[in-house]
Amino acid sequence: MNSQTRIAILAISPDGQAIALKIASELPDVKLYTTHQEKLSEAFTLLPSLAEGAKTLFDESDVLLFVSAMGICVRTIAPLLRDKHNDPAVLCVDTTGRYVISVASGHIGGANEWTDRIAHILGAEPVITTQSDRQGLWALDTLGAESGWSSETAGCSMNAAITTFVNKRPVALLLEMRSEGTAYLERTHPEHVDLYYHYEEIDQSRYDLLIAVSFRLLEGLTIPCLYFRPQLLHLGVGCRHQANPEGVVAHILSDIRAKGFAPSAIATINSIELKRGEPILNELSQHLGKPCHFYSSDELATIEVPNPSERVATATGSTSVSEASALAASQGGLLIIEKQKGCLTPQSDFTYSLAVAPEGLPHGHIEIVGAGPGDPELISVRGKHFLERADLILYAGSLVPIELTYYAKEGATVKSSADMNLEEQFALMKEFYDKHALIVRLHTGDPAIFGAIQEQMALFDEAGMSYHITPGISSFLAAAAELRSQFTIPERVQTIILTRGGGRTPMPEREQLHKLAASQSTMCIYLSATLAEEVQRELLVHYPPTTPVAVCYKLTWPEQRIYRGQLSELAQIVREHHLTLTTLMVIGDAIDNRAGLSKLYNDNFKHLFRR
């Protein structure tokens, strides 16, 4: 569904033209055609003949949508159909706009996806008859492409694998890497599919099909296998100047297979800049359909390799070409084939090495997840998915609602970090990490805002551990929602300051509250309820005493309380209601302000919303 998709809509009648115009109003660069001459809209191109016009559109379009009776659509395209890999996606909308039907090229051509999208535009019912869609199963023939994986089969055809899968025969799913694509498979695998992370654990006698996300060639297969090949391998190549390429490509790829790796998982071909244009590299690039990347001798000289060569250093300025360039391309990966030498004909010396990107290495992963402000439903969908898959959930004690840990899968370990110091937390995560487990470190709000994750990430970096951050909804956003306020008001306030008072953690001199207050922005002050007197005094240096304030306790929790007042009353509000922890103080004219009107919906700004 990219912006370059060529979409043609063919409407047969005036009613069909009205529907076509409605669809075109929501999609960019749609071309409209009709065979009906009466009251012809200028938006349409008139086709002199339905058969000839449809033939041209069939060849020139990625999506061809008929607004007509189904019979007209089918009889028109029948002589034009070739195969699902080359035909456009063909859809049919009835002239009442009630049904959108996927006619041809459902998965490969995207007709099923477009059927859903067009149905949403019209408020119509999508009609998709593909068996996997009807059963809510994966579309195996497009599943890999959606994650950037190539696919290949062993012991069966793709169609045979699909038939086994949609008929719900027993299937084993092997995941030898972690990515968004594998996370989707983990989350959505149907009941007849069993999940594995280690090939050796699979009892193949129990299954009719193996689906493997792997860059390896699996030994000892006794059942059909559908491989999805993540593009994780990086090939490094060195060679004599103008070396004869005859047989070299076949030799390298055969040797890679013999060592148990799939050439179809190769993402890049790499070498030193001096080798740009070499015939061996050109043939490898052409054969694999992969780009060649070249590195300077200075770049490669900084990379530590297991097999350095002074002879290579004399010739190139770097002690390695094949190993160093493969490692450079892998961006922190590992050599899985060290330097291999070859010479098939006189004066045709070459070397090759193979590295795998970090995602393909067997290790654990730590996901730092923002839990949101309190309401368990305000965690992100991505964060919830991580909680559902995690082997260990380490959550920030009473600051995080216990209900969020209820998303944990059966058998997961769930622990509060409230009574653990940093070293104990790290040791626990490292223990699970070394078992190749998925760890979720659950922090309140958004981890980047007063989240205390800096020290943890420093330890992860030092240990070379894989980690990532899933952002969360911060309490200042929850405050705006609960106060029904827009914290930026046109021509009044356009800045939001997130800060804290200077308590046990001193504030930098340039960030003293009275200095920040000079802008009279919307100010959200965290972790400072016990400093309310000092906060009020500093803010009054620049804010008027009547400036609105809102003191928000446990936003979005069941115990939530919000107290409104003026800046001159701030300390009194905090004191009288005994507020200490989990309190956010909001100060500024944006609170409850309805005076400023946004110009975004002015006619002069409508272009911002057009496609």
pLDDT at 361: 80
The whole-number pLDDT of residue 608 equals: 47
pLDDT of 602 strictly over 60: no
Helices (DSSP H) in 104-174: which residue ranges? 111-122, 131-134, 140-146, 158-166
DSSP letter assigned to residue 603: G
Per-residue pLDDT, 253: 97
Q: What is the pLDDT of residue 609?
A: 45
Q: Scanning the structure block, which residue is given the tokens 């990086």?
A: 234
Are residues 313 and 418 located together in one domain of the fold?
no
Cα gap 219→100, rounded to integer Å: 46
Domain boundary among 409, 438, 473: 473
Q: Which residue has the tokens 């047969």?
A: 12
CATH number at residue 53: 3.40.50.11220
Q: How far apart are the first and last CA of the chain?
A: 14
pTM: 0.70
Q: If you average pLDDT over residues 544-561, what whole number do you get?
A: 95
pLDDT in tens, 213-256: 999 999 999 999 999 999 999 999 999 999 999 999 999 999 99
pLDDT at 360: 86
237 and 348 in a common domain: yes
How does residue 569 score in pLDDT terms, banded at 50, 70 and 90? very high
Residues 168 and 196 in one domain: yes
pLDDT range class, residue 131, cuts 50, 70, 90: low
Q: What angle do CA 188, 193, 195 make, to 5 degrees?
A: 80
pLDDT digits (tens, 9 = 90+) for 325-347: 999 999 988 999 999 999 998 88
Contacts of 229 (CB under 8 A, 6+ apart): 144, 149, 150, 151, 152, 214, 215, 262, 264, 265
Using alpha carbons only, give the angle 87, 92, 95 rounded to the nearest 5 degrees.
155
> pLDDT digit string (tens) for 67-85?
999 999 999 999 999 887 7
Residue 548 falls within a domain, yes or no?
A: yes
| pLDDT over 50 at 443, yes or no | yes
Q: Which pLDDT score, from 0 to 100, does residue 611 have?
A: 43
Is 1 domain-assigned?
no
Domain that holds residue 162: 142-229
Which of 75, 102, 130 corresponds to the end of one domain?
130
Read out DSSP for 163-216?
HHHHTT--EEEEE-S-SHHHHHHHHH--TTEEEES-GGG--GGG-SEEEEE-SB
407 and 307 belong to one structural domain? no
Q: How far is CA 569 from CA 136, 533, 576, in A?
A: 58, 10, 11
Q: Is residue 610 part of a domain?
A: no
Looking only at the bridges linking them, the beta strands covering 31-34 and 7-11 are parallel
Residue 5, pLDDT score: 86
The CATH number for 575's domain is 3.30.950.10
Do 268 and 353 belong to one domain? Answer: yes
CA distance 247 to 311: 25
**Average pLDDT of 122-149?**
83
What pLDDT is stored for residue 110 in this prediction? 85
Say if residue 442 is in the same domain as residue 384: yes
Instruction: Give the count of domains, the chain.
Output: 5
458 and 432 in a common domain: yes
pLDDT at 145: 87
101-115, 207-221, 222-236, 567-581: segment of lowest average pLDDT: 101-115
Q: Report pLDDT for 526.
A: 94
Taking 70 as the threshold, does the pLDDT of residue 163 lie above it?
yes
446-473 confidence digits (pLDDT tens): 999 988 899 999 999 999 888 899 999 9
pLDDT at 178: 83
- Local confidence band at 586 (pLDDT 50, 70, 90 cut-offs): very high
Q: Looking at the predicted structure, is the pLDDT value of residue 601 above 60? A: no
pLDDT tops 50 at residue 32: yes
* Residue 96 and residue 17 in one domain: yes
442 and 537 inside one domain: no
Same domain, yes or no, for 85 and 148?
no
Residue 61 lies in a domain: yes
Cβ–Cβ < 8 Å for 556, 378: yes
Other beta carbons within 10 Å of 99: 16
Ramachandran bin of 233, using left for φ above 0, alpha for ψ from -120 to 50, beta for the remaining angles: beta
Q: Has residue 526 been placed in a domain?
A: yes
Question: Of the candidates 473, 488, 519, which is a domain's last residue?
Answer: 473
Domain at 414, CATH number: 3.40.1010.10
Question: Could you tell me if residue 608 is inside a domain?
Answer: no
Are the CB atoms for 234 and 270 separated by under 8 Å?
A: yes
Tell me the range of 111-115, 423-427, 514-518 where mean pLDDT is highest.
423-427
Q: Flag whether 341 is in a domain.
A: yes
Flag whether 558 is in a domain.
yes
Dump pLDDT digits (tens) for 483-492: 999 999 988 8
110 shares a domain with 146: no
- The predicted structure's pLDDT at residue 86: 86
The answer to whether residue 291 scores a pLDDT higher than 60 is yes
Does one domain contain both 250 and 218?
Answer: no
Q: What percent of the chain has pLDDT over 90?
A: 74
Please tell me the distance from the alpha carbon of residue 421 to that of residue 400, in angstroms, as a whole number. Answer: 17
